[in-house]
Structure 1
């Protein structure tokens, strides 16, 4: 390990480190524009210049490998003069529009100029103007501000894996642009806004709406997919103004998918803010007392065995505890959290977890994707797979529909027959998995939601065992969920009890067997099959479930409550209240607690700590926040007849997967451009 002397302090760094990293290890702050620890080194801004003994001129510390015996100085007159000169050159063409720039208060150029920059300008010529570029409905550009750090180019190319940005021309005529004028098609494109060290790239939906110092910043968790990315919710008053990623190395690193970042405008559209009761075929605003009494009157004459609960994809763990307790108090076994009909019975926890963990992907050397499109189902997991693929010695194979995943994929087949061949060792790729040190299989939510889902699970388990994927130090069996509530629901046992019906059974029984259905945020079901069933919908948006309701109980969205969600790895995390629910809407567990009192089936959980204590008793593995309890391996799945249909992903439109994103005007525009436009053969060009 090389030892360097930094400003008189000796420091030892790992082999392959740069001088900049050695300086940081010694506690020295080195200003940078182009350098980013997750991107390849460009070395083109020269802001990180330091003095090295025996070097005739300052060196770019980000691009210089650390060598044994180097003597580095970071705080000398020469270094200060060099940095001041670099900033003077950068500011030659930079417009003086800080008062109207959206990056004001968060701008690296502004901050570094204050500490390292010149106090006057010697430039008298006209500044160079650059035309703004069209990058789509999410990113606005002010390219005159661009300092050519190329962070955006490197991110789109290396992390997102979509080669759509680049530099054209040379010298003073250089510009950053798309190769043809079109929108960026990556599901991770919004991250270049965070990476831009100046105000050249901004959030189009947020631009000119608020200043950073006006916003209240709340640390929370994203629930629009099952990854559980860590986010920061910025709000002003009662409105969420923007959503940004937070650093979490084991989940999202510092990236965030576009749907999670930009669909916040859906939080204020199509909201349910007052209880509603259907009268003469029409829903009309009501009050809580009337809504509860209407439900009570309807339930009094109904056999508990004809009452069911369907739990949706965005429901928090505390609410599911209350659903479980209320269903038990009523005496109904008809409870199900698997809206999509997934054949996961929840008896063996390893059956429904991403056991390898997201960070564990980087230890794998072969992966089989079964009926999943991670680019749309979980863009951050797809980015992690691409990151591992770029490191080399990593083979990816797929069973299912072809889709550009941004890295090379071997297509083995379309359906369950190919999986059967692999499990029995008849397919050539089985040898690749057996020969791999840490092989993985990722089973998609769509594959287990088919009628033959239990048989597919059994085959995937056989494959995992046959290819030595499950060992004491490694578990390569993974299920990739798309619903943020699914793992917590299975942990809490929200599956039909003895004699209970699943979602399909409840919908089938709606024609005669089921008389009352509680839809707890359930919007991904076929409501046309509900018939004359009395429907109570509890949720936060006027989506599919609300349109079928006889009574609506307005709940709180994920930004409006302190709640626990469990991601696809089985990692419990907490959202925090950023804004209060609109109107008369309440937190969901409180609604169910009050309803239990009215129904005379009192659930004695009167506070959030009491609900969480009951949660810990029911599912001890969720007791510790942000800690994954490894799941024990066991027998799961069930052999049976396999369907001949090809595997398909449950996500056919990345931008329209839940009530919040469907209510978002920004996501509707993205869906029209990237999904429907692509399907119709549109080029996506601007004009």
Structure 2
């Protein structure tokens, strides 16, 4: 048997050398790590020097192997297909909104596989989507906790609610994490009754007065048709692997030219790097300017590595105007989010003027943190912190009250992907222990606080949410009219690095997943794992 890493298990006695995995690695994943050695009857399919395959899309070879020579290592021998309940869901590991099917038995999700959606993920899913599901049963919050004498102590729901009531002044701040559904954000907003809402938990601050100016306007499928693409501060391969495959397709099939501003990294296709100075947005280098002059469908993609610098949003919009990136039947201005909750949060007003630091400066007496584990909690030292989430991660460790919520697999919810596509997932399993669906927690809390929320079921909640934000009531692409906010086009500085340091450990579910921990240690940090008998 051949070693291909922590994701793919091989049974090479079944292999018929059809080379579908070789073609996938080269043409879709963009890495030449799988190939054939030997000739005739001695031919073998193997990875380079039998090392782990480093692609973040390697799990897809399991789906396209026709004979089961390549199978899923984490899922192997866990269940029979006919034992599993199959539930359509939406992936929350990034902002692409990959359509998936969750296969569960009893109260455990055993695997996630992609559903075909040509507009979003085609038939692919990256390795986090597929294999972070074992983190759903580890390090779970299954009962409320209240901090007493500096330590979190298990409590009843009533005791936890009374502790919150003691600090309730009629309003609260709400900070949403990266994986929260729209229903949770809406119910928290209605209860909090304030404008102190923020979802960009890592400190990003950009103009949100026009949703079209923070949207992926080309659409995920449409970026394949671009002939010149400029990436600004975006490590696309780690922030949105399935958008990266589309650009790789544009380069390979249609000869698109790709330019990039930021530290050099391997994106799996030919890129002309323009350095890391943001001044290139003001005065484009000659190679880029010449390419844009003759381009029919030029596009810019602004990533989180650039948006944390002041003025980048305005400079990118000015760049788009100067080089006519927005024209009839083509909008080439794109902002790349990498949090599943981001676009839904922006539609619901989760963008405080000045960002999270400006919100913290208001010194709210009480703040709800919705699965927000990446927040700098030192900013909220004087605030009474209530964490509503599903894993015992950074957020729970810093909270004064912990309320156990439901993970994405345990609730029906609405998510909006980076191109403004409204999608709904269904509940596959129930939350563990005393944990409850997040919106139901806020509905119950509202009675205790004397501010009853006007809905008692998910359908009533969705009706209220649709009335407040009509676009969230209809599945499919939300129609954002192109409105350019008036921003200063000046910018300076250099992009130091990219936001995602470790692709496999970007959220609390991944950090609780044994499979993702192994992928991180082996594929990111180079630690060797020996199999039995080695």
TM-score class normalised by the smaller sequence:
over 0.9
For residue 203 of structure 1, report the CA deviation from its aligned partner.
0.8
Q: 2:404 aligns with which of 548, 554, 571?
A: 554
Q: 2:241 aligns with which of 366, 379, 384?
A: 379
For residue 202 of structure 1, report the CA deviation from its aligned partner.
1.0
In the alignment, which residue of structure 1 is the partner of 2:324?
468
For residue 141 of structure 1, report the CA deviation from its aligned partner.
0.7
For residue 508 of structure 1, report the CA deviation from its aligned partner.
4.6
Matches of residues 569-584 of structure 1 in structure 2 within 5 Å? 569-584=419-434
Q: 2:388 aligns with which of 531, 538, 543?
A: 538
2-structure distance, mates of 1:587, 1:137: 33
Q: 1:258 aligns with which of 104, 127, 132?
A: 127
- The answer as to whether partners of 1:416 and 1:643 remain within 8 angstroms in 2 is yes
Q: 1:408 aligns with which of 246, 263, 270?
A: 270
2-structure distance, mates of 1:661, 1:553: 20
Whether 1:313 and 2:178 are equivalent positions in the alignment is: yes
For residue 647 of structure 1, report the CA deviation from its aligned partner.
4.9
For residue 333 of structure 1, report the CA deviation from its aligned partner.
2.6
2-structure distance, mates of 1:651, 1:209: 32
SS in 1 for 2:96: coil
In the alignment, which residue of structure 1 is the partner of 2:337?
481
What's the CA shift string for 1:134-164, capped at 9, x where partnerless?
A: 0001111111111111111110111101101
1-structure distance, mates of 2:467, 2:53: 47
For residue 179 of structure 1, report the CA deviation from its aligned partner.
2.6
2-structure distance, mates of 1:142, 1:428: 49
Whether 1:621 and 2:471 are equivalent positions in the alignment is: yes
SS in 2 for 1:421: coil
Whether 1:267 and 2:136 are equivalent positions in the alignment is: yes
Deviates more, 1:647-656 or 1:154-163: 647-656
2-structure distance, mates of 1:473, 1:186: 35
SS in 2 for 1:358: coil
Whether 1:588 and 2:438 are equivalent positions in the alignment is: yes
1-structure distance, mates of 2:461, 2:208: 21
What's the CA shift string for 1:203-254, capped at 9, x where partnerless?
A: 1111111111111111111011000001110000000111101100011100
* Higher relative contact order, chain-length normalized (CA < 8 Å, sep 6+): 2
For residue 433 of structure 1, report the CA deviation from its aligned partner.
1.7
- The answer as to whether partners of 1:181 and 1:685 remain within 8 angstroms in 2 is no
Matches of residues 602-621 of structure 1 in structure 2 within 5 Å? 602-621=452-471
In the alignment, which residue of structure 1 is the partner of 2:65?
196
Query: Which segments of 5 or more consecutive residues in structure 2 lack a partner in the other structure?
Result: none
What's the CA shift string for 1:650-676, capped at 9, x where partnerless?
A: 111100111111111111111111212
- The answer as to whether partners of 2:25 and 2:31 remain within 8 angstroms in 1 is yes
Whether 1:505 and 2:364 are equivalent positions in the alignment is: no
1-structure distance, mates of 2:496, 2:293: 24
- The answer as to whether partners of 1:341 and 1:503 remain within 8 angstroms in 2 is yes
2-structure distance, mates of 1:315, 1:179: 40
Matches of residues 165-176 of structure 1 in structure 2 within 5 Å? 165-176=34-45
Cα distance change, pair 350–647 in 1 and its aligned pair in 2 (3 A): farther
2-structure distance, mates of 1:326, 1:427: 54
In the alignment, which residue of structure 2 is the partner of 1:141?
10
SS in 1 for 2:317: helix
SS in 2 for 1:537: strand
2-structure distance, mates of 1:593, 1:291: 14
1-structure distance, mates of 2:257, 2:224: 12
In the alignment, which residue of structure 2 is the partner of 1:642?
491
- The answer as to whether partners of 1:344 and 1:351 remain within 8 angstroms in 2 is no
Q: 1:663 aligns with which of 504, 512, 518?
A: 512
SS in 1 for 2:335: strand
Whether 1:349 and 2:202 are equivalent positions in the alignment is: no
For residue 641 of structure 1, report the CA deviation from its aligned partner.
6.0
Deviates more, 1:207-216 or 1:524-533: 524-533
For residue 421 of structure 1, report the CA deviation from its aligned partner.
1.2
Q: 1:515 aligns with which of 347, 354, 365?
A: 365
TM-score normalised by L of structure 2: 0.96
Cα distance change, pair 286–685 in 1 and its aligned pair in 2 (3 A): closer
What's the CA shift string for 1:548-568, capped at 9, x where partnerless?
A: 011001110001111000000
2-structure distance, mates of 1:601, 1:243: 39
Count of paired positions:
532
Whether 1:672 and 2:521 are equivalent positions in the alignment is: yes
1-structure distance, mates of 2:427, 2:36: 42
Structure 1 segments of 4 or more deviating over 4 A?
682-687
For residue 684 of structure 1, report the CA deviation from its aligned partner.
8.7
What's the CA shift string for 1:145-203, capped at 9, x where partnerless?
A: 11111111110111101101111111111111123120000000000000111121111
2-structure distance, mates of 1:287, 1:327: 22
1-structure distance, mates of 2:395, 2:189: 20
For residue 409 of structure 1, report the CA deviation from its aligned partner.
0.2
